[in-house]
A = this chain, B = another copy of it.
Amino acid sequence: MVDLSVELGPLKLKNPVLTASGTFGYGLEFEPFFDLGSLGGIVSKGLSPRPRHGNPPQRIAETPAGMLNTIGLQNVGVDAFLSEKLPKLEHYDMAVLANVFGETEAEYVEVCKKLDGAPGLAGIELNVSCPNVECGGIAFGNDPRALASVTAACRKATGLPLLVKLSPNVTDIRETARAAEDAGADALSLVNTFVGMAIDVEARRPVLNRVSGGLSGPAIRPLAVHMTWQTYNAVKIPLMGMGGITCARDALEFILAGASAVQVGTSNFVTPTSAADLVNELRDYLEQHGFESVRELVGSLQVES
């Protein structure tokens, strides 16, 4: 029997397959499709201090091998998450991570404090791809200093394993990765969506109400794998990789490049069972290739020098 368990610092997972924030609801929506307990974990939709309605439609657009979204961080708010969603997930043997965002550093801290010590919560993932309203609207995650500051503040606010989810819209992701590491992150998630845009050439208008949106799906995989490899070679803390993963082969690209675990995002929409299928495919790969543990593969890419 192969060993699929992995550790990302203080976060222990029974297998390295999670579902990405915003693509798996609060988990419960997938109960008709498979046993959630077969996953390593799930990451909640991004949580803010208060519920949010999100952006007006049109919110999504398909692009070649990808999709754009401007959901606008619609969510039930951290209180409803704690009272209504989290308790229903407790009996599943898997890790529940809460994805957190805010428009100010204080909002991040507020949500982290509320989540701290919540029964059944395995950790917190900070979504730093949000515009920082106090700081001219540039995303927290695109500015190493703002990123370090919000990470350090959340680090103080919670004893839970703390992951920082990096934005890919930067010149050198190693800088923001190091900033988050130095500020106390236990692990890094990467990557969030790339900023993109689609135009309806008949109407001569943007397809999305908010003009631009976040690109996800297979199209971005080569970019995300590269950033994972760069980051793996730049920091010491463990990584959670994502971006266009649809099957074990895709996931293995991230694992070989240095990710200790992976998240499945957009693929959940297309094939609701993809994350669960991936766990089985990964097991098969390890067995067929004679590996005892998936940990042997993490960062094991062979590069001639």
Q: Which of A's residues lie within 8 Å of B, judged by CB? A: 63-66, 68, 142, 169-172, 194-199, 201, 203-206, 211-212, 215, 217-223, 225-226, 229, 244, 249, 252-253, 256-257, 285, 297, 300-303
Q: List 17 A-B contacts (CB under 8 A).
A: A64-B65, A64-B218, A66-B222, A142-B172, A196-B222, A196-B225, A198-B222, A199-B253, A199-B301, A201-B249, A201-B252, A204-B297, A204-B302, A205-B301, A205-B303, A211-B303, A215-B223
How many angstroms between the C-alpha atoms of A64 and B216 in the bound complex? 12
A258 nearest CB across to chain B (Å)? 11
Complex copy number for this chain: 2
For residue A219, which residue of chain B has the nearest CB?
B219
Q: Which residues of B contact A169 (CB under 8 A)?
A: 171
* CB-contact partner of A226 in B171, B212, B303, under 8 A: B212
Instruction: Contact check, B63 vs A222: say whether CB atoms are below 8 A apart.
Output: yes
Interface residue SS majority, chain A: mixed
Instruction: Contact check, B302 vs A219: say whether CB atoms are below 8 A apart.
Output: no
Q: Which residues of B contact A297 (CB under 8 A)?
A: 204
Known contacts A170-B171, A205-B303; A198 and B65 CB within 8 A of each other = no
The listed residue with most B CB atoms (<10 A of its CB), out of A172, A218, A220, A249, is A220
Q: Which residues of B contact A64 (CB under 8 A)?
A: 64-66, 217-219, 221, 244
Known contacts A223-B194, A223-B215, A226-B212; A201 and B253 CB within 8 A of each other = yes
Q: Which residues of B contact A142 (CB under 8 A)?
A: 171-172
Known contacts A219-B219, A301-B206; A198 and B253 CB within 8 A of each other = yes
* CB-contact partner of A197 in B172, B197, B215, B222, under 8 A: B222
How many angstroms between the C-alpha atoms of A197 and B233 in the bound complex? 15
A271 nearest CB across to chain B (Å)? 15
How many angstroms between the C-alpha atoms of A195 and B170 in the bound complex? 12
